[in-house]
Amino acid sequence: MVILTLNCGSSSAKYQVYDWEAKDILAVGIVEKVTLGGSFISHKVKGQEEYVASHDCPTHTDAVGLIIKTLTSGEHGVISDMSVIKAVGHRVLHGGDKFIKSVIVDDKAMAAFNEVKDLGPLHNPANIMGIEAAKKVLPDVPHCAVMDTAWHQTMPPESFLYAVPYEWYEKYSVRRYGFHGTSFLYTAKRAAVLLGKDPFRTNLVICHLGNGSSVNAVKNGCSFDTSMGITPLEGLVMGTRSGDADLAMPFYVMRKTGMSAAEMETVLNKKSGLLGITGKYADRRDIQKAKLEGDKRAELAQNMEAHRVKKYIGAYQAVLGRVDALVFTAGVGEFAAFMRKKILDGLEETGIVYDPEKNDMSHTRNTETIISKPESKIPVYIIPTDEELVMTEDAFALMNGTYDVHTKFTYSFQSKDYVNKGRAEGLREELARHPELEKIIANPK
């Protein structure tokens, strides 16, 4: 049985093809620059070189069509025809407060997604188009929606409400929703395995650091608070998003410049954050290179990003009372040792003591690592996220009628014996090149 997962972003369409019986990934890929012109597909089949081809995709429907064509092609495909696919899992950014778990997509669900798409204007329309396009190609299989916001529906009112007129919540659904939920679900469950604890007696602070970034306070295995808000703009300093700012600031600048509300929204989402501070860069690798070359604004951007993450770590330690582990995940969290260093330096008094040598060694997506010193009261883990696996398992369980909210459902990766075959193979190759990596591998207790 093959399960396809699709993640349609504002200008991209990521996919994964998973063989359920073999518990193995057959292919992964992404169509980039969808709607922008100059679009292309990057397609990787297990054991083969990456295939890259240009193909114009003016809509997400075209992108899904290109994915299907590539998956079934004689030269680069991994399936004979589309009848092999038995379920499709779709990432949906914003489910509002209408969904507490993943669902099979029906007319009612689609109506709900359209109803809340103003809450996720950059992503939800693309998510919806991806679902509609896939349903046209695969009309007879279940299509399952996995919402980024569902994980955070356990937050209490004191966490999710804003101190604004209460009727805004009642009339317009104004509240904190939070995002990166699929990533937080995976990393929270894996952290409990590594700690050898019951997941529902585990308190965590998880830092999902990528182009978009957020921090999650997990209390007794459930989301308790998170840094993103009604949209993904709030919270940390991100690649192009401002994160936290005085709410009066945009009005002040609009009065000074004559900028419209739509223009201000674009600036705060697409021209701020690290890009806004440096004036050039949103990618941390570019910023690190510029800093090492003496660029003071690049250094300032790094310091601002790390400072904001530190604030949230400290705040969530206070909110949780007891923290069983600090976790880093996503592209920056998993690979940018220089950013982790900036964040972790000076946290010793809070019970977090990291090992700089171990931190520098951890640069992998093939295994979970621990970079704290033995005397650290709070262990520091780096857990490579796997949102696609969560989507795949949700889709399979929904198809079979065995799925439920995560507090009543057990994933395969919650076993201490769980092995990701692709990552295990990659780790063997990596250890052959860097045997010292063995020292920091985090094993389940």
Q: Which residue stretches of 90-220 are H helix?
A: 107-115, 124-137, 157-160, 166-172, 181-195
User: Are 397 and 103 within 8 A, CB to CB?
Assistant: no
- Tell me the one-letter amino acid at 49: E
Q: How many CB atoms lie within 10 A of CB 8?
A: 29
Nearest by Cα to 301 from 284, 289, 318, 322: 284
The tokens describing 27, both together, are 């292919």
| Whole-number Å distance between alpha carbons of 305 and 291 | 14
Q: Is 244 a catalytic residue?
A: no
How crowded is residue 311: how many other Cβ atoms within 10 Å of its Cβ? 14
d(CA 48, CA 73): 15
Q: Which helix (H) or strand (E) holds 40?
A: strand 40-45
| 173 Cβ contact list (under 8 Å, min separation 6) | 96, 97, 116, 119
Among residues 19, 62, 148, 295, the one annotated as catalytic is 148
What is the C-alpha to C-alpha distance for residues 233 and 194, in angstroms, rounded to an integer?
32
**Rounded Cα gap, residues 409 and 200, in angstroms:** 12
Active-site positions read 148
